[in-house]
Amino acid sequence: MNISALWRDIRFLKILAQIAFIIVLALAASYLYFNVTTNLARQGLTMGYGFMRNPASFDIGESYIPYQPSDSYGRALLVGLVNTLVVSALGIVLTTVVGVLAGVARLSSNWLINRFAAAYVGLIRNTPLLLQLMFWYFGVILQLPGVRQAIELPGPIFLTQRGIYLTWAEGTAAFPAWRVYILIAFISIFVIWFALRSARKRATLPLSPWWNLAYLLIPMLIIGIGALIQPEPPLRPFRPELTGLNFRGGLRLTPEFAALLFGLVTYTGAFIAEIVRAGIQAVARGQVEAARSLGLTTGQTLRLIVFPQALRIMIPPVTSQYLNLAKNSSLAIAIGYPDLFSIAGTTHNQTGAAIEIITIMMLSYLSISLFTSLLMNIYNKRVQLVER
Amino acid sequence: MGTLEVKPPVLAIGPLAWVRKNLFSTWYDIGLTFLAIWLLYALLKPAIEWATTEARWGVIEANLTLFMVGQYPRSQIGRVWLTIFVLAGLIGLSWGVWKNAARGFALIALSAGAAFTLIALFYQWDIWTQWLIAEAILLIFYFMGLYLPRGTLIAAVAWFLYFPFVFLVIAGSKNIAALPPVPSNLWGGLLLTLLLTVVGNFGALPLGILLALGRRSRLPVIRYFSIGYIELVRGVPLITILYTAAILLPYFLPIDMRPEQVIRAMIGLVMFEAAYQAENVRGGLQAIDRGQYEAAHALGLNGSQTTVLIILPQALRMVIPALFNSFISLFKDTSLAALIGLFEILRIARSILAQSEWLGTHREVFLFAFIIYWLFNLAFTYGNRRVEEALGVGKR
């Protein structure tokens, strides 16, 4: 085989092109690596993750895991990651509710409701989230009255510039006992499910649907017995009360957390509203007409015919909105909520370990994204049409 | 058998019928209507009260120039006007050349210019003359465009040259006496926001096309590299990429190379946007019929000829709406450059709030920024719709 034949062999050329690409990449990488090492050497810095064990010695405004300034940088970054996860998870749940409501309102035959939703979607989608966050934080929450003149909403919920105080539930002395009853009730549901399934397999005739009532009645019976043994209710309302210069009790949302959550939820909700609207409109008209001619009511048509089909269309774009919400939570730095990005920034300022910090940060966000899309893909597979 | 008398329907047409049909058709409809009216009242009443009494709108008037161009040297501000005049000329020319396709946009520009003139006259700012000149230029070029031979070609080339021209005028050059260099840390406000948007988008497009082609390549190394890049960038927040560009980029460059912060931000935006545009373009590539490849092959075109001459033109035309959407979202995303210290609109707003005489005017300043972003997005969305119509997307 001579050389000129090789040049005309497409398989050889393909391999050659890939080798050339790898060589170019390797050259570029080594050039960048050379630059990095020279730059670092010049500044007297070394790479490495040793700093992660050093004490962070800065305070973090809010944290869901125990943290104090003497803890390590690694711990501080973990606090940030947990803060990011908390606000993202809560945001995803709430934004779904807001988005579906606004999307349905957008399709309402009521003109006012329809216009209202359209204005919400149009205004929110066309302005930057960062601006909205700053507006909610500096322009709204920090301008709320002080603690003594707090705005009281039914609940009671108190709006103050020091944060938002919600009525919450508090476990009573009977709570541990109730936990056991509720656990037993849950287990009973699984037991019923297994029992009914095996009964269905054995039965020659279809089982009466009344058997499904067992799902409701047996857990209620267990809870009822529990109530007889332990008459005290498991939870009692935990109301915020003004004592002295501050509120006590209840659940306090810091101004930063409240602004971030509200901003993320309203922003992403507007995008989800459009997805919901488009998804519902994409269901073929014939489906609705067929359902109506079969005698289904409007509600049944929506619930049994339109929504299941619209859901299939909506899941992929909604997933990317969930991912956006999680990623956008990094804008928290603008209003001082200590999320992963803001704590990473502080760590970088104190240690100068730019490359290490950015690597950690990117890997964390990447894993959040991958994990969320993994979950949504599993869900997507379940609701997709199985063609026969 | 007597004729069955059917009375004419009461209230089938007219405003009352409309109200009844759209607001009070069922009992829950009535409830919803009252809920909406109550909500409107609860939201609008305090807002209007605040806007008319409490709000100090003077902060906007006092800082309008800052909002528009940031710290751009006031002696050089004529250069910004020059870019606006040229833009007005281009819009007029396109109107004359392309007639209907560009008319709506030209009319919007014309009425916006008229509105600015009137506002300036009302507040007795002396910039009303400049806006009037821009209007005149637009109209003059419209008539020129009507009679220009080979007008479409000239207009297309002129638009293509416009963006480099803007850069030259804004940045200046040591070699041109009339345009002394203006360092990029003085660029700011709306000017910088628009520059970042345009550079981010048009810089990212070639990279995005390459990545999209790479992702569909049959060579595994190139394919996995493209997939890796796209998924990495799409999986992390923009701010981390901007942060990387601002802080890490100098480490990766030779010691004597220290690009200015604006350039770093632009590099970050391009790297970010390229991944998203790659996915847009990939959508277009996947929508191309197999027959196109086969026909090109049958005509004797090789792989790269097929891609450049047959596939890409069709794919790109198909994804113009998607690219426009990315354009709009990048316009919003440039606000993140404020977090790495660029004086675009948002950072300007923050700096105005730090002025001692305008403390506590957060709402006024942020609302004004809202209005700027919102109006521009309306214009972009309108432009998108016109382009879609002109190209017949989804109809051909």
With respect to residue A95, please indicate whether it lies within any of the assigned structural domains: yes
Residue type, B130: Q
Closest chain B CA to residue A361:
B240
Q: Which of chain B's residues have a Cβ under 8 Å away from the Cβ of A366?
A: 232, 235-236
Q: Give pLDDT tens digits for A329-385.
A: 999 999 989 999 999 999 998 888 888 899 999 999 999 998 888 888 888 888 776
A228 found inside a domain: yes
Mutate which: B32, B197, B367, vs A, most A CBs within 10 A: B32
Per-residue pLDDT at B10: 60
Mutate to test the interface with A, among B335, B352, B358 (most CBs of A within 10 A): B335
Instruction: Give the span between the Cα atoms of A219 and A183, in whole angstroms.
Output: 10
pLDDT at A268: 96
What's the pLDDT score for residue A108? 84
Q: Which residue has the tokens 């939703």?
A: A117
Domain identity same for A290 and A151:
yes
Cα–Cα dist A174/A176, whole Å? 6
Q: Residue B309 corresponds to which amino acid?
A: L
**CA contacts within 13 A on the Cβ side of A331:** 27
- Give A155-158 contacts, CB < 8 A, sequence gap 24+: A156/A239, A156/A240, A158/A240, A158/A247, A158/A250
The reported pLDDT for the residue numbered A204 is 79
- Asked if A122 and A78 sit in the same domain, the reply is yes
My answer on whether A246 and A154 are in the same domain is yes
Give residue B196's pLDDT. Answer: 93
> Do A207 and A271 belong to one domain?
no
Asked which of A202, A217, A238 is the last residue of a domain, the reply is A238
Q: In angstroms, how far apart are the furthest CA atoms of chain A?
A: 94
DSSP B25-56: SSHHHHHHHHHHHHHHHHHHHHHHHIIIII--
* Out of A32, A111, A128, closest to residue B332 by CB: A128
Residue B9: its pLDDT value, please?
A: 64
CA angle (B252, B254, B260) in 5-degree steps: 80
What tokens does B172 get?
A: 């200046």
Determine, for residues B374 and A361 on separate chains, whether the beta-carbon distance falls below 8 Å.
Answer: no
- Domain shared by A107 and A149, yes or no: yes
pLDDT reported for residue A244: 74
pLDDT of residue A2: 66
Alpha-carbon gap, residue B69 to B391, rounded angstroms? 35
**Whether residue A131 is found in the same domain as residue A214:** no
B178: tokens are 């009339």
Give the residue from B350, B340, B367 showing the smallest Cα distance to B272. Answer: B340
* Chain A from 136 to 155: CB within 8 A of any B CB: 138-140, 142-143
Task: Tell whether A371 is covered by a domain.
Answer: yes
**Around Cβ A380, how many Cβ atoms within 10 Å?**
16
The CATH number covering residue A90 comes to: 1.10.3720.10
Helices within chain B (DSSP H only):
15-23, 27-49, 58-62, 64-69, 77-98, 100-123, 128-147, 151-171, 189-215, 220-235, 238-243, 249-252, 261-286, 290-298, 303-305, 312-318, 320-333, 345-353, 362-391
Rounded (10°) angle between helices B320-333 and B189-215: 140
Q: Would you state the pLDDT for residue A62?
A: 87
Angle at B28 between CA B24 and CA B31, to 5 degrees: 75
pLDDT in tens, B142-187: 998 888 888 888 888 998 899 889 989 998 888 888 888 888 888 9
Q: What is the predicted pLDDT for the residue at B379?
A: 87
Residue A65 lies in a domain: no
Q: Report the residue from A39, A116, A348 with minimal CB separation from B39.
A: A116
Kindly give the parts of chain A with pLDDT less than 70. 1-3, 385-388
Q: What is the pTM of this model?
A: 0.86
A234 shares its domain with A248 = no
Q: What is the pLDDT of residues B295-308, one digit of tens each?
A: 999 999 988 889 88
- Quick check: is A155 in a domain? yes
Question: Would you say residue A373 lies in a domain?
Answer: yes
* Torsion angles phi and psi, residue B116, rounded to 5: -65, -40
Query: Within this chain, do residues A146 and A246 fall inside the same structural domain, yes or no?
Result: yes
Helix runs in chain A, H state only = 3-7, 10-43, 73-106, 111-125, 129-134, 175-202, 214-229, 255-282, 285-293, 298-300, 307-328, 340-351, 354-383
pLDDT of residue A119: 93
Separation in Å, CA of A341 to nearest CA in chain B: 8
Q: What is the pLDDT of residues B338-395, one digit of tens each?
A: 999 899 999 999 999 988 888 888 889 999 999 999 999 988 888 888 877 777 655 5
| A199 and A119 in a common domain | no
pLDDT of B225 reads: 93
Angle (CA) A49-A54-A55 rounded to 5° is: 145
Question: Which residue is closest to B27 within chain A, CA to CA?
Answer: A110
Q: Are residues A272 and A360 in the same domain?
A: yes
Asked if the B64-391 domain carries CATH number 1.10.3720.10, the reply is yes
Res A331: pLDDT: 93
DSSP string, B346-379: HHHHHHHHTSGGGTT-HHHHHHHHHHHHHHHHHH
Q: Which A residues, 96 through 125, put their C-beta within 8 Å of a C-beta on chain B?
A: 108-113, 116, 123
Q: Is A10 near chain B, with CB under 8 Å?
A: no
Same domain? A132 vs A254: yes
Asked if the Cβ–Cβ distance from A32 to B252 is below 8 Å, we say yes
Q: For residue A387, what pLDDT is reported?
A: 60
Which of B220, B353, B373 is the closest to A131 by Cβ?
B373
For residues A76 and B18, give the distance between their C-alpha atoms in angstroms, rounded to a whole number. Answer: 60
Question: Alpha-carbon distance B329 to B334, whole Å?
Answer: 9
Cis peptide leading into residue A66 (ω within 30°): no
Amino acid identity of residue A297, one-letter, is T
Q: Is the ipTM of this complex over 0.85?
A: yes
Which positions in chain A touch B375 (Cβ < 8 Å)?
none
> How many CB contacts within 8 angstroms connect chain A with chain B?
156
Name the packing angle between helices B189-215 and B220-235 (round to 10°): 150
Q: Clarify whether residues A206 and A294 are in a common domain.
A: no
Residue A137: per-residue pLDDT: 93
Query: Quick one: angle between helices B220-235 and B261-286, nearest 10?
Result: 120
Q: Measured between beta carbons, which residues in chain A are less than 8 angstroms from residue B221?
A: 18, 21-22
Contacts of B373 in chain A (CB under 8 A): 126-128, 131
What domain range is A224 assigned to? 175-238
Tell me, yes or no, whether A57 lies in a domain.
no
| Segments of chain B with pLDDT less than 50 | none
Structural domain boundaries in chain B: 15-54, 64-391
Residue A247 inside a domain? The answer is yes
Domain boundary among A214, A238, A262: A238
Number of domains in chain A: 3
pLDDT, position B28: 80
Helix (H) or strand (E) holding A168: strand A168-171
Nearest residue to A147 (alpha-carbon basis) of A132, A133, A163, A136: A163
